[in-house]
Amino acid sequence: MSWQVWLGFLGAAWVISLSPGAGAIASMSAGLGHGLRRGYWNILGLQLGLLLQIAIVAAGVGALLASSTVAFTVVKWFGVAYLAYLGVRQWRSTPADVSADGDVRAAGSALAMTIRGFLVNAGNPKAVVFMLAVLPQFLDPARPLAPQYAIIAATMVCVDVVVMTCYTGLAARVLTYMRSPGQQRVTSRVFAGLFFAAAGFLSLVRRAAPV
């Protein structure tokens, strides 16, 4: 992969990561409920899910998702159900304990937060199909594909970590100004609504008709 191609992909990676989606909502939700430091476990899960999406495309399984109505539908409705579940959990979440110095003391299993982030990205077939359409444009078929996919994966993960850290940190910063349980409850329900909206949008996604 030449430097010119890589720079073009770097720009595309920023656009993809900055686009509002379930990952951004999950990151802000984690920051709101657990603060920035613990929110990194959610970011780790999101990156593992992102790497799975790239591996699926690299292995050619992405073509199956793009062409098989059954496979696409199963993954899609898993994603819809999981986002709706996160919405219910966010709606029912209890206010975090915020100390005077702004430290967030909400409990949260690191493993559970990592799995949560992973499932948010893993349950999005639209992202896999999107990558299937975009990534090949930056590959040189005359050269070994594995190193090129490795460069693509490293670039996307680095960019996404930066973007999701910003989303998480922004929500964590907002939480330090909302020590009232009532304020936190309203904000949690706003994020619950965003999860429900993301689930609704995903439910409307249809597999592109074969050309």
124 phi-psi bin (left φ>0, alpha ψ -120 to 50, beta other)? beta
**What confidence category does residue 108 fall into, taking pLDDT thresholds of 50, 70 and 90?**
low
Q: What is the pLDDT of residue 45?
A: 94
pLDDT of residue 94: 67
The pLDDT value recorded for residue 15 is 79
End-to-end Cα, the chain, rounded Å: 29
What average pLDDT score do residues 115-138 get?
A: 81
What pLDDT was estimated at residue 164?
93
- Name the burial class of residue 193, with classes exposed (0-12), middle (13-18) and buried (19+) by CB atoms within 10 angstroms of its CB: middle
What's the predicted TM-score (pTM) here?
0.74
Q: What is the H or E stretch that residue 126 is in?
A: helix 125-134
Is the pLDDT at 82 greater than 80? The verdict is: no
| Apex 120 CA angle, 46 and 168, nearest 5 | 55
Q: Which residue has the tokens 């790497």?
A: 51
With 0-12 / 13-18 / 19 or more C-beta atoms within 10 angstroms meaning exposed / middle / buried, residue 152 is buried
